[in-house]
Amino acid sequence: MNGERPIRVLIVDDSAVVRHILTECLAKEPDIEVVGTAADPYVARDRILELNPDVLTLDIEMPRMDGLTFLRKLMRFRPMPVLVVSSLAQASCAVALEALEEGAVEALGKPAGPYSVGDLQNTLAAKIRAAAASHMRPRPAAPPTAVAPPPSPARFREPVVVAIGASTGGTEAIAQVMQALPANFPATVITQHIPAGFSQAFAERLNRTCRMEVKEAEDGDAVRTGRALVAPGNFHMLLRRCGANYHVVVKDGPRVCYQRPSVDVLFASVADQAGARALGVILTGMGSDGAAGMLALHNQGAPTIAQDEASCVVFGMPREAIKRGAADKVLPLGAIAPALLRLLAA
């Protein structure tokens, strides 16, 4: 997107302290330049016209105009990559996820509470780079017409575990896949790169809009038909088998591919515990997390699907899996749920 030119960032936040922290976190990055800051959306509007930034960081709770309202206007009149920086209060997390639905490409917790400045420095630059690499798509002027879900088989092969992994752009990609699946779909485990605090709101939103039960995973949760478990932010999730049944282990541990939760950790455990009785799906995201784990699934005989480049927000993770020969099928996002239904029909 930028060639050799640094990624130009505009920081929008009503807190002078947060503006300073974000600027300082990016100051040592040679490929990123903070070109300006704004204390509210009205100032931000003028700065965007003046500075032409590549990426915007956007607070949700601001005076004069809230961040979500500003984002909707921005995506209508001047679409650009937006990284939402939100407090970790549950209400704010829910609004941040709504911002992702409205076109923001990433979400990040503010440097407060459990989110230390050190943690922020380790992740902010990576998320800025992911946002800059994203494929922006125009937002529809009106909500799309509801499409009938694909026909579902009456029965599915059992026991089967479906593992899904994603990063940048993944919350909406996962929602699109999950909303097309029936209530009796096989047990599903999901790792989305997401900050601590946001994963509960993400799981709750999926649970409201999907036919399956969806919940943020807790250690020991049963993995069963009709249920999808989402890895909690800042924790790895692994599959474990006990006889004919499965459950998840939720645990701390070192970051893998700079991520916690890591898709590789989940996929590798599913390959080990379920083998050919699993199915792996890797969706949009920056980096290589999930590629090694998907190759492990493929080598165990589990069918694997990668999202194609044209429908990805960022093609990094699927591209790495495809390069390693780990993907049996490469499909546009809208074709993934129907493919799952066909693969898993009894």
Catalytic residues: 167, 193, 289
For strands 245-251 and 236-242, give the pairing. antiparallel
Could you give the residue ranges of the DSSP H alpha helices within the chain? Answer: 16-26, 41-51, 67-77, 90-101, 117-133, 170-178, 198-209, 263-274, 291-299, 316-323, 333-344
In three-state secondary structure terms, 52 is: coil
For strands 245-251 and 227-230, give the pairing. unpaired
In three-state secondary structure terms, 298 is: helix
CA–CA gap between residue 240 and residue 181 (Å, rounded) = 24
In three-state secondary structure terms, 336 is: helix
Q: How far is CA 163 from CA 46, 125, 136, 224, 294, in A?
A: 44, 28, 27, 13, 10
| Residue 167 and residue 192 in contact, taking contact as beta carbons nearer than 8 Å | yes
